[in-house]
Homo-oligomer: A and B are copies of this chain.
Amino acid sequence: MHQDPAFERAYAVILAGGSGTRFWPLSRRKQPKQLLRLFGRTTLLEQAVARVRGFIPPRRIYVFTNELVRREVVRVLPSIPRTQIVAEPASRNTAPAIGLAAHEIMARDHDGLMVVLPSDHIILKAAAFRRALRTACRLAATQGRSVSLGLKPTRPDTGYGYVRLGALEARMGDHEVYQVEKFTEKPPLKVARRYLASGRYLWNGGMFVWRASTLLSNLERYMPEMARGLARIAAAGGVHATSTLRRLYPRFEKISIDYALMEKISGLSAVAADLGWSDVGSWAVAYELSPKDRKGNVKPENSLALDSRANMLVSSKKFVVTVGVRDLVVVETDDALLVCARERSQDVGRAVQELERRGLEDLL
């Protein structure tokens, strides 16, 4: 591999600790979204690793996950050194994991760069992704900026956070780099439409680049208690200090990096990119992204769709027959069956909450 100097000191931190419910019954606590083969033969997590492996070698890739699924993560990522696949002792959202990763990287390279990436989204334009990351790494390395990879919005999506852009800082390669004015939460539709029309907003895709040292400085300033805890863990040996980690990690505040830092820190830039990105937030989105037959059905080989249109059929082994139905999501697993109006697929999580309330642990 011809090493791109922009990535020479870059470490990927892939966050794979999530346990979403929106792809129930396929997604479960023990099989979260990032471990689903929603598109093709590999999991979203494998695809996330594959996207960076071309320019960040496995020895500089970390994966943060949880104890329930670490075994499976190790299994699907044989190229990643096992010591770099870290199980968080408790679910504490992204800020503590990113802080912990920063210490690991600092221990290996005091000027190391962190490339923070989710593991449960898709990016169709791999080359554009690489170029955008290169720009972000240069900004972080040469100017000490904290960089958000922002996605150019294509619709007034109410499921995403947005980044409001300030002044144009620079043009680097084919990218515009902006100062970030602020991070905003998921907006109502009316507001999202305004954002889109203004041209001043990008989607926040949860992809960040900064020096590990910059991140730690910011944590010390804005999350001092968390920073102290992280320092204690680092002093004890970091992710390998299992007992210290198990004792201290669960005490951290459960907070995302967006809330903990991104809404507060200065020196924040955004690289605007068009990556063919989606966070695949529901069965409806998975439907949109999947190849369809002439009648708009996504269906397995062993199925028959009679007078049926625009359905998403997912079945493990069973033969599925539909007659006269449209716009449904039908998902069948070994122990459960979901039949959902496609436009209601964001409510699958509500159904899962109800299963939880009923104490149906086996189905979660």
A-to-B contact residues, CB < 8 Å = 24-25, 304, 306-307, 315, 317-325, 328, 330, 332, 335-341, 343-345, 347-348, 350-351, 354-355, 358, 360, 363
Q: A332-B332, A344-B307 are in contact. Are A337 and B321 (CB under 8 A)?
A: yes
- Cβ–Cβ < 8 Å partners of A354 in chain B: 304, 306
- Cβ–Cβ < 8 Å partners of A351 in chain B: 304, 306, 321, 323
Contact of A339 with B339 in the complex, beta carbons under 8 Å: yes
11 further contact pairs, Cβ within 8 A, besides A318-B337, A323-B347 = A317-B335, A318-B332, A319-B363, A321-B337, A322-B338, A323-B338, A323-B341, A323-B345, A332-B332, A337-B337, A339-B339
Residue in B304, B325, B340 whose beta carbon sits within 8 Å of that of A341 in the complex: B325
- Cβ–Cβ < 8 Å partners of A345 in chain B: 323
Distance between Cα atoms of A358 and B360 in the complex (Å): 39
- For A362, give the chain B residue with the smallest CB separation: B319
- For A311, give the chain B residue with the smallest CB separation: B339
- For A355, give the chain B residue with the smallest CB separation: B304
- Cβ–Cβ < 8 Å partners of A337 in chain B: 315, 318-321, 330, 332, 337
Q: A355-B304, A363-B319 are in contact. Are A339 and B328 (CB under 8 A)?
A: yes
Contact of B335 with A319 in the complex, beta carbons under 8 Å: yes
Distance between Cα atoms of A348 and B323 in the complex (Å): 7
- Cβ–Cβ < 8 Å partners of A360 in chain B: 319
- Cβ–Cβ < 8 Å partners of A343 in chain B: 324
- For A345, give the chain B residue with the smallest CB separation: B323
Distance between Cα atoms of A337 and B336 in the complex (Å): 12
